[in-house]
Amino acid sequence: MKLASLSRSLLRTATVVAFALTATACATNPGDSGATDAAYQVNDPLEIPNRFVFAANEAADVLVIRPAAEVYVGVVPDPVRDAIHNFIDNLMSPLYIANNLLQGNVEGASNATGRFLTNTILGAGGIADVATQAGIPRAPEDFGQTLAVWGVGDGPYIVLPLLGPSNLRDTAGYAVDTVGDPVRIWAYGTDHKGMLVGRAVVGAVDRRSEILKEVDDLRRNSLDFYATARSLYQQQRRAAIANNKAAASPEFPDYSTPPKP
C-alpha cells in the first residue's frame, strides 16, 4: 500500500511538472533565428546552488566513484564487464519499449522489443548482446525524451546530487521512469530491495569505467569544467531527443540510468 501511494504521488508530481513545462514549451521551440539563438543557450538560473552540488558530486567521483571504476577495470576481465553492461541494459528494455510507444514511435518500439526478445532468449537473459550482432541497434528512450516529443520544454538546468546534470523536464521524466521500472516494481513486491542497490552501484561503476580517460581529459582541458559538463549534457539530450546517433562526444558520465532504488 505504501509503495502504491508513493507511486501515485510521484506520478501526480511529474504530471503537474509536465503541464507546467508545456505552458513554456513555445519559448524553447524556436520559430525564427533569434529564437533559435536563445534556445541554444542553457537556462541556468540556479547556477550558484548547481555549482555547489556539482562540486560535491566531483568530490564523490574523485574520492569514491573513479577509484572504484579503476579497480573494477583492473580486476574484472573485459568479457565479464561486457556481460554485466549488457545484462543491466537489457533490464531497462521494457522502459525503452514503453517510451517508444508513448512517443508514437512504432518502429522504435518494434526495434526495442526485438532487441529485448533476442538478447533475453538467445543472449542468456541479456548477458550477450546478440541483437547488435544481428543488426538491431541499441536506442535507449526515457520519459524525459517522451515529454520532449510531446512538446515539453527543458525548463531550468539542474545538477542532481550524485545523479549529475539534468533539467526540470528530465528530472520529472526520471521520476516517472523510476516508478515504472519493472525491476523496481518486482523487487519491492518480492522484498528484494537489496538487488536494486546492487544494480545501482554496479551500474554507476560500470558506466564510469567506460569513460575514465575521457573525463580526465575534460577536467584537464576545461577552463570551467562545470560549464563544459553543462554544455555536453545539453548537446547529448538534444541529440537523444532527435534520435541523432552523433551525440556529443565524449559523453559526460550519467549516473541516472538505471533508476535508483
∠ CA 80-57-231, nearest 5°, is 90
Q: What pLDDT does 193 receive?
A: 87
Q: What pLDDT does 105 receive?
A: 95
Q: What pLDDT does 25 receive?
A: 40
Q: What pLDDT does 260 receive?
A: 47
Q: Could you tell me which residues are beta bridge partners of residue 248? A: none
3-state SS, residue 175: helix
E-strand stretches of the chain: 157-160, 164-167
Q: What is the C-alpha separation between 161 and 167, in angstroms, rounded?
A: 13
Q: What pLDDT does 167 receive?
A: 97
The pLDDT profile of the chain, 261 residues, written as one tens digit per residue, is 444 444 444 444 444 444 444 333 433 443 443 434 444 577 999 999 999 999 999 999 999 999 999 999 999 999 999 999 999 999 999 999 999 999 999 999 999 999 999 999 999 999 999 999 999 999 999 999 999 999 999 999 999 999 999 999 999 999 999 999 999 999 998 988 889 999 999 999 999 999 999 999 999 999 999 999 999 999 999 999 998 644 444 555 554 444 445
pTM: 0.78
